[in-house]
Amino acid sequence: MKTRSIKLPLGTGDLTEYTLRPRRGFVTVSEFHCRTAYAAAHVVADPLAENGLGIPAAIDWEATLRFREHLWSLGFGVAEAMDTAQRGMGLDWTAAKELIRRSCLAASRGKHQIVCGAGTDQLSNARSLSDVAAAYEEQCDWIEQWNGQVVIMASRSLAAIARSFDEYQQVYSKIVGSCKDRVILHWLGPMFDPALTGYWGSTDLDIATENFLVLLHALASKVAGVKISLLDKDREIGIRRRLPPGMKLFTGDDFSYPELILGDERPWRGVASDARAAPGKNQNTALSAKGVLQAAPLQNDNFSHALLGIFDAIAPAASVAFGALDRGDRDGFLQILNPTVPLARHIFQGPTYHYKTGLVFLAYLNGLQTHFRMVGGLESARSVAHMSRLFILADQAGLLLDQELAVERIQRFLALAGVM
């Protein structure tokens, strides 16, 4: 494509001319080994069906599974039926069940990695902790029936009725204990879902963190890893250092993922030196099942693995970056991923939970689906100016895979919005 310009509305009240950069090609890899990396994937709505607010989701199964094959082909595992797939924002449990079944079958056929989100979204009015636990168990059973690994997501119902950390611990102990295989726990922060404010029994994040660590040490034998989605780099590193030995931390930080995944060059070792210290005062500590600090040697990963929604959008670049890291090229890893961060920060800007709209729009621009429609009608959740800025940042990160097609499609989108 010849160098060309396009006029875009960027919220200034006028059109701004933008000249596309020379196309940057990515030589992707089909597998990598340096980190475990899952891409949380969006669903593709059926454009010929009703998909408005409050209407049960109608999904284009062929296009949805084709997008998962795209992610698998780049070396990623797929994180299915999680918040990126609009759980709680258009995707109900009935549709999620079918999504899990179809994706797990596809993963099995291709021998691909897959993890699936279990929640409590089939509940309309939870009255007790037993109701919440039963809902979780139903979803965990369904996932394991189709040979998926369970990711236990945060529950709005539990957040609404739990009155103390003990009640969280009671429910999670029951759920985790009922699963056949080891699970991943997901702490989704209130910036992604305001209904989860106060999760783990406190609105004070320091107290909530201590409670969470108590739970992880109590359930260490049944928990393979944790996903932290708090957009708080330092807190994530602090949690990572205090996990039980062998437990993986999957970053959910869509702002600081390059440095968190890269980690430190030297392995991190910590030794708890004072069993009487107060929780939170000494980061080099291990917690017992009852929250009592114990003097114990620790050796945890000095980096985070990844389970990220932004990988849905930046998978080609991330695949190349992980290939570089496999070769020990740490600088190359950052040189590839750092230019994607402005795009990620834009997509995940507040209100953060509308990030799915940006992911679907970029998939549309890149020809990975034929339309820009979403379940729940969420294609309207971001402004025309937001989408125009997304186009620019994607181009600057080299993530418009076919610039001609991307220009044609954003012009179509702008014309529909009345921008001539």
Count structural domains, the chain: 1
Residue 363 lies in a domain: no
- Residue 299 — pLDDT band, cuts 50, 70, 90? low
Residue 206 lies in a domain: yes
Q: What's the pLDDT score for residue 2?
A: 64
pLDDT digit string, tens, across residues 264-284 = 866 544 433 332 233 333 333
Residue 180 lies in a domain: yes
pLDDT digit string, tens, across residues 160-205 = 999 999 999 999 999 999 999 999 999 999 999 999 999 999 999 9
Residue 109 lies in a domain: yes
Residue 355 lies in a domain: no
Residue 322 lies in a domain: yes
- State the residue range of the domain holding 134: 32-329
What average pLDDT does this structure show over 362-373? 98
Cα–Cα dist 136/412, whole Å: 43
Residue 128 lies in a domain: yes
Residue 181 lies in a domain: yes
> What are the DSSP calls for 350-401, one per residue?
SSGGGHHHHHHHHHHHTTSSS----GGGGGGSS-HHHHHHHHHHHHHTT--S
- Whose CA is closest to 180, among 205, 212, 148? 148
The whole-model pTM stands at: 0.91
Which amino acid is present at 336?
I
pLDDT digit string, tens, across residues 243-258 = 999 999 999 999 999 9
pLDDT digit string, tens, across residues 374-404 = 999 999 999 999 999 999 999 999 999 999 9
pLDDT digit string, tens, across residues 74-130 = 999 999 999 999 999 999 999 999 999 999 999 999 999 999 999 999 998 899 999
Q: What's the pLDDT score for residue 290?
A: 36
pLDDT digit string, tens, across residues 310-367 = 999 999 999 999 999 999 999 999 999 999 999 999 999 999 999 999 999 999 999 9
Cα–Cα dist 376/353, whole Å: 14
pLDDT > 90? residue 139? yes
pLDDT > 60? residue 145? yes
CATH number, position 54: 3.20.20.70
CB atoms within 10 A of CB 4: 11
